[in-house]
């Protein structure tokens, strides 16, 4: 068995289970082993109800008393019952889990594990996991991996499959050169993979993770250096002259560009009119006005008779850019002839789009990955803009730029990356920073609260909706069962429908939906046919609905502050006062302290730096500091030292052996070639 072996070949994984793994983008053994635990937990001994502390995840040993009450609230089945021991009682609630009544027998003792809360003087638990005492005893005292899950796939099923894969895999020679492993004191690759899944102790888990993070950064940066060397002296095939069109647009806009925008615009114009290809990163905080700079660059491009392309990470965002450009074109009589190209378009629509792109009738093409498909042939593509670059791979950017000879590339990112790290990660790009927000924007009002604030938050949401505004509610997970004690978007939507008045329209949006369905939901939300949108972080990138005034984030402690800052950027885009409510589902003081940073600043760079200082290198799982990044296990903030070290070693290797021809680099060379051909390298 090798890493390319289909997951269905693993004993115990049938067609039904394989389809569940496919939902997590786990199709083969290699992807299964790189589906690292999202967290670890130590199952502590059960407590008596009297000793349990409200606000914390705990396990209590108790028995069912009385009868179970079940009721239907709109589309929600709500079950309530009481458990007791000799020290107290807890009121239990389960949503859409009717099978619970078949698990419990009156008078028998079980272990109930979940977050204990105090409401109106009563102890309550919602959606607690239920174990038989002997089953729970087998889990205590050992670090238990917690994997990303989907409905129908349990942690036990993943654990079993991983054990099988580790035992049967034909392990290849370690691709990381021995001299690097020795200097960095890194454990062997096989040991690291086995240990990260099934650690005997916390120290061993950290060492395993350190090796895997170094690998991820090192191989990524080796690939990035290849791009850099290729692009360094590339001559432009499309030199441009400055035209009056762009200047007329900046004068006609109902607002003035900030000094930071004007500075970056000058840098863009200088690049486009030069004799070398532009490879520039435009980095700016949420709401700093990067999109208008992209439109100005595309305007300069089409005014010189060339085509431009703008690639967005999602169809929702691509459609938003397309509509914005059409509106600008009509309002200011601009020479844009924009064309939308996305994967969910019909065959006929795509055929018409391809023809317009090929004959040049479409001078700006806005879309998703469909832009780089072979059928998309451009007449004279001169400028490529990629929006929120962390969603794309290096090779994807190269493929789009490869649609023309010497094409200019402009990358936009709202991710607050310190310049020292940006120079490593964007080694093949020049960097411009839009470090100023537009004037006269109302600052967002923030509050960090515990779960006991929820009822008050719901009343506030209802009040805002009655004032004609719209709401976002963010949940960390998509479905029930993905992580214990964490809100999920699907169940939460149904719960919210049962709590809010029937006339308030509530809908759900998440990344597992079909693109066409996601587009439909966002269109409905943009048209104000939906009042409250319950979503995962799929909405974090660039979505612009000025009428949205409230962002409520459940289990905010599960997100990095940089990501919460991105989410906060979805509100505060209109003229009305906007609010962010961050709910700390853990109730822990250290989580409140960390989240309070969001109250002190709206500067993404400051927030990311403070988060890093507070958390330190030990807090490695459970929270993605930079949730926007696509590294599987590494995190550019909390693993910044490893990122820098990996960059230094990549430079050393290529300086001493550019072709990777030395005997000690033979496995590395083979691995890199296979990796480059098979893997979509993720950039930030």
Residues 418 and 524 grouped into a single domain: no
Q: Residue 53: inside a domain, yes or no?
A: no
pLDDT digits (tens, 9 = 90+) for 496-533: 999 999 999 999 998 788 878 888 898 899 899 999 99
Per the CB < 8 A criterion, the answer to whether 262 and 398 are in contact is no
Mean pLDDT of 281-305: 93
- One domain, residues 422 and 485: no
CA distance 646 to 661: 20
544 and 563 co-located in one domain: yes
Residues 588 and 484 in one domain: yes
Q: What is the helix (H) or strand (E) element at residue 363, kind and residue range?
A: none
Q: Are residues 411 and 487 in the same domain?
A: no
pLDDT number for residue 604: 81
- Position 227 pLDDT exceeds 70: no
Write a three-state SS string for 199-260: CCCHHHHHHHHHHHHHHHHHHHHHHHHHHHHHHCCCECCCCCCCCHHHHHHHHHCCCCCCHH
Residue numbers of the domain that contains 374: 244-434
CATH number at residue 122: 2.40.50.140
Q: Which residue has the higher pLDDT, 635 or 486?
A: 635
**pLDDT bracket for residue 479 (50, 70, 90):** low
Q: What is the C-alpha radius of gyration for the chain, rounded to an integer number of angstroms? A: 26
pLDDT value for 248: 94
Candidate from 198-207, 386-395, 422-431 with smallest mean pLDDT: 386-395
> 167-180 burial, b for 16+ CB within 10 Å, e for fewer?
eebeeeebbbbeeb
Mean pLDDT confidence for 333-338: 96
Same domain, 450 and 551: yes
Residue 165 lies in a domain: no
Residue-wise pLDDT tens digits, 106-123: 889 999 999 999 988 999
Six-digit token string for 332: 């200011």
Q: Which residue has the higher pLDDT, 595 or 400?
A: 595
The closest of 172, 202, 164, 210 to 190, measured between CA atoms, is 172
Residue 661 has pLDDT above 50, yes or no: yes
Q: Does the global pTM surpass 0.85? A: no
pLDDT tens across 351-402, in order? 999 999 999 999 999 998 888 777 889 999 999 998 765 444 555 555 666 6
Banded model confidence at residue 624, pLDDT cuts 50, 70, 90 = very low
How far from chain centre, in Å, is Cα 254? 33
Asked if pLDDT for residue 618 goes beyond 50, the answer is: no
Confidence of residue 60 (pLDDT cuts 50, 70, 90): very high
pLDDT for residue 681: 38
- Of 546, 578, 601, the one marking the end of a domain is 601
483 with 594, same domain? yes
In a domain, 506, yes or no: yes
For the segment 177-197, the average pLDDT, to the nearest whole number, is: 97
Co-location of 415 and 267 in the same domain: yes
Q: Which of the listed residues 87, 105, 129 is the one where a domain comes to its end?
A: 129
Output the average pLDDT for the chain: 87
SS3 179: helix
Percent of the chain with pLDDT over 90: 56
In a shared domain, residues 299 and 386: yes
In this predicted structure, what is the pLDDT of residue 397? 54
Instruction: Examine the domain organization and report whether 371 and 501 are in the same domain.
Output: no
Residues 418 and 468 in one domain: no
Q: Is residue 17 domain-resident?
A: no
* Count: domains in the chain: 3
């Amino acid at each position: 068995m090798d890493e390319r072996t289909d997951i269905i070949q693993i004993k115990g994984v049938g067609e039904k289970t394989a389809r569940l793994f496919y939902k997590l983008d786990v199709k083969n053994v290699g992807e299964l082993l790189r589906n690292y635990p999202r967290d670890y937990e130590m199952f502590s001994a059960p407590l008596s109800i009297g000793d349990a502390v409200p606000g914390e995840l705990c396990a209590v040993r108790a028995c069912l008393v009385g009868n179970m009450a079940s009721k239907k609230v709109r589309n929600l089945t709500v079950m309530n019952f009481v458990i007791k021991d000799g020290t107290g009682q807890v009121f239990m609630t389960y949503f859409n889990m009717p099978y619970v009544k078949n698990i419990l027998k009156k008078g028998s003792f079980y272990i109930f594990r979940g977050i204990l809360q105090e409401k109106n003087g009563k102890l309550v638990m919602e959606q607690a996991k239920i174990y038989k005492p002997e089953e729970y005893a087998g889990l205590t005292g050992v670090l238990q991996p917690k994997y990303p899950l989907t409905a129908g796939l349990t942690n036990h099923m993943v654990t079993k499959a991983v054990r099988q894969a580790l035992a049967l895999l034909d392990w290849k020679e370690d691709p990381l050169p021995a001299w690097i492993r020795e200097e960095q004191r890194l454990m062997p690759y096989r040991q690291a993979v086995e240990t990260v899944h099934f650690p005997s102790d916390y120290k061993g888990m950290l060492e395993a993770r350190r090796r895997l993070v170094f690998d991820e950064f090192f191989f990524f940066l080796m690939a990035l250096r290849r791009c850099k060397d290729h692009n360094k002296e590339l001559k432009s095939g499309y030199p441009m002259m400055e035209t009056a069109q762009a200047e007329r647009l900046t004068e006609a806009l109902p607002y003035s560009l900030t000094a930071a925008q004007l500075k970056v615009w000058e840098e863009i114009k200088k690049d486009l009119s030069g004799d070398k290809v532009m490879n520039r990163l435009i980095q700016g905080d949420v709401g700093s006005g990067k999109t208008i700079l992209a439109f100005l660059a595309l305007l300069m491009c089409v005014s010189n008779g060339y085509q431009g392309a703008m690639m967005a990470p999602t169809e929702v965002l691509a459609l938003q850019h397309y509509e914005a450009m059409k509106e600008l074109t009509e309002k200011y009589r601009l020479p844009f002839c924009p064309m939308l190209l996305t994967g969910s378009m019909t065959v006929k629509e795509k055929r018409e789009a391809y023809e317009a792109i090929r004959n040049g009738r479409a001078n700006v093409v806005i879309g998703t990955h469909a832009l780089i498909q072979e059928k998309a042939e451009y007449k004279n593509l001169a400028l490529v803009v990629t929006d929120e670059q962390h969603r794309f791979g290096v090779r994807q950017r190269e493929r789009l730029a490869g649609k023309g000879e010497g094409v200019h590339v402009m990358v936009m990112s709202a991710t607050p990356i310190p310049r020292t790290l940006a120079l490593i990660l964007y080694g093949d790009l020049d960097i411009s920073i839009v470090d100023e927000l537009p004037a006269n924007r109302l600052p967002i009002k923030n509050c960090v609260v515990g779960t006991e604030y929820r009822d008050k938050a719901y009343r506030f949401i209802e009040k805002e909706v009655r004032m004609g505004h719209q709401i976002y509610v963010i949940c960390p997970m998509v479905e029930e069962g993905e992580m214990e004690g964490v809100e999920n978007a699907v169940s939460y939507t149904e719960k919210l429908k049962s709590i809010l008045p029937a006339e308030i329209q509530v809908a759900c949006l998440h990344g597992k939906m079909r693109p066409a369905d996601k587009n439909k939901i966002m269109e409905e939300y943009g048209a104000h046919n939906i009042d409250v949108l319950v979503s995962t972080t799929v909405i974090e990138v660039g979505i612009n609905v000025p009428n949205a005034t409230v962002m409520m984030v459940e289990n905010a402690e599960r997100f990095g502050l940089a990501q919460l800052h991105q989410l906060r950027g979805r509100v505060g885009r209109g003229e009305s006062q906007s609010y962010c409510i961050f709910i700390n589902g853990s109730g822990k003081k250290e989580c409140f302290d960390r989240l309070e940073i969001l109250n002190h600043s709206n500067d993404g760079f400051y927030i990311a730096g403070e988060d890093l200082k507070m958390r330190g290198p030990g807090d490695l799982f459970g929270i993605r500091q930079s949730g926007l990044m696509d590294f599987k296990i590494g995190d550019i903030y909390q693993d910044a030292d490893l990122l820098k070290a990996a960059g230094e070693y990549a430079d050393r290797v290529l300086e001493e052996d550019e072709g990777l021809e030395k005997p000690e680099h033979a496995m590395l060379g083979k691995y890199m070639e296979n990796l480059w051909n098979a893997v979509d390298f993720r950039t930030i």
